[in-house]
């Protein structure tokens, strides 16, 4: 109450100050008096990826903005104006400067709301709330709550060169990037080769020989025709027929 009264008196003096320097001096005193308020708001955001000292610094920046912008003629008490201003400054700092990989804004804002909701629901339910209960309490979709909780909304990126012990100490540590999987097209190609090999094996011997000459040895149709004593047109028709049968077998 003493702080509120002191704040009220200083702001009243500042509003009637004759000079800008005098007004600024009185506003600075208001800021000093209300630093504990900024610290209290900052405390609610601890454990979210930002050091306590940095949190308090951002909160004090919000306090400065609140003092500079406050207008007593609006009929709102200073604390009613300052606390949301400080809170908003902290949330903006999280949104714009803290994320290593920035998620969508709706998830950033939801993450900021979840700790308070968890605390309130835990006190009411006498247990940890479920994602569905959190979603109902916050008025959002449960999928969004699950996404925030499961992803962890990382503030800090992990180096891909970070050593990782996967052997329990029996072997040298392995860099993280060597343990990250990637798409390997050889899997699908291997399946295709297996299916194709079975399909080719089912062809008559002459058809297999024609394929080997044309595809493996890359002979021309003219050379194959000479080898078989056929015309080039006949070899062309034979190849089309062989490839058609293989496509039908593979598609089946």
* Dist. CA 235–CA 209, nearest whole Å: 12
Whether residues 89 and 7 fall in one domain: yes
Whether residues 69 and 153 fall in one domain: no
Whether residues 93 and 8 fall in one domain: yes
Question: What integer is the mean pLDDT of 7-14?
Answer: 87
Whether residues 115 and 175 fall in one domain: yes
Tell me, what's the pLDDT at 94?
78
**What does residue 204 show for φ and ψ, rounded to 5 degrees?**
-60, 155
Q: Report the CATH number at residue 45.
A: 1.20.120.1810
pLDDT in tens, 99-140: 666 667 777 778 778 888 888 999 998 999 999 999 999 998
Domain tally, the chain: 3
Whether residues 7 and 73 fall in one domain: yes
Whether residues 10 and 35 fall in one domain: yes
CB distance 62 to 86 below 8 Å: yes
Choose the final residue of a domain: 182, 205, 238.
182
Q: Which tokens go with 174?
A: 């392995």
Question: What integer is the mean pLDDT of 224-246?
Answer: 91
pLDDT in tens, 183-225: 777 777 888 888 888 888 888 999 999 989 998 899 999 999 9
Whether residues 104 and 171 fall in one domain: yes
Q: Which tokens go with 89?
A: 């400054």
Q: CA dist 97 to 57, 80, 89, 90, 92, Å?
A: 14, 26, 12, 10, 8
Choose the final residue of a domain: 63, 98, 133.
98
> By residue range, what is the domain housing residue 115?
99-182
Whether residues 237 and 198 fall in one domain: yes
Whether residues 127 and 40 fall in one domain: no
Q: Report the CATH number at residue 164.
A: 1.10.10.10
Quick one: which H or E segment has residue 163?
strand 163-164
Choose the final residue of a domain: 150, 182, 214.
182
Whether residues 88 and 128 fall in one domain: no
Whether residues 73 and 108 fall in one domain: no
Tell me, what's the pLDDT at 177?
74
pLDDT in tens, 168-181: 666 677 787 777 77
**CA proximity to 79, closest of 55, 63, 60:** 63
Q: Which tokens go with 94?
A: 């999280």
Whether residues 124 and 168 fall in one domain: yes
Tell me, what's the pLDDT at 226?
92
Alpha helical stretches, state H, the chain: 2-15, 20-33, 35-43, 52-69, 78-93, 105-125, 131-138, 142-151, 186-201, 205-211, 221-228, 232-251
């Amino acid at each position: 109450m003493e702080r509120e009264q002191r704040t009220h008196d200083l702001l009243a003096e500042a509003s009637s100050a004759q000079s800008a320097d005098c007004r600024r001096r009185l506003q600075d005193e208001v800021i000093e008096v209300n630093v504990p308020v900024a610290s209290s708001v900052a405390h609610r955001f601890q454990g979210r990826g930002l050091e306590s000292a940095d949190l308090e610094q951002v909160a004090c920046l919000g306090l400065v903005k609140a003092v500079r912008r406050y207008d007593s003629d609006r009929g709102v008490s200073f604390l009613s104006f300052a606390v949301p201003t400080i809170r908003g400054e902290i949330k903006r700092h999280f949104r714009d400067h803290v994320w290593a990989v920035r998620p969508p804004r709706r998830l950033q804002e939801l993450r900021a709301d979840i700790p308070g909701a968890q605390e309130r629901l835990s006190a009411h339910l006498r247990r940890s709330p479920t994602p569905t209960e959190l979603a109902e309490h916050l008025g959002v979709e449960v999928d969004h709550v699950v996404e925030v909780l499961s992803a962890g909304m990382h503030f800090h990126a992990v180096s891909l060169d970070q050593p990782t012990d996967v052997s329990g100490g029996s072997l040298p540590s392995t860099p993280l990037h060597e343990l990250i999987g990637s798409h390997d097209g050889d899997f699908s190609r291997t399946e295709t080769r297996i299916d194709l090999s079975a399909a080719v094996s089912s062809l008559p011997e002459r058809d297999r020989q024609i394929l080997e000459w044309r595809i493996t040895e890359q002979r021309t149709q003219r050379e194959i025709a000479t080898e078989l004593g056929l015309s080039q047109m006949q070899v062309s028709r034979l190849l089309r027929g062989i490839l058609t049968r293989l496509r039908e077998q593979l598609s089946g």
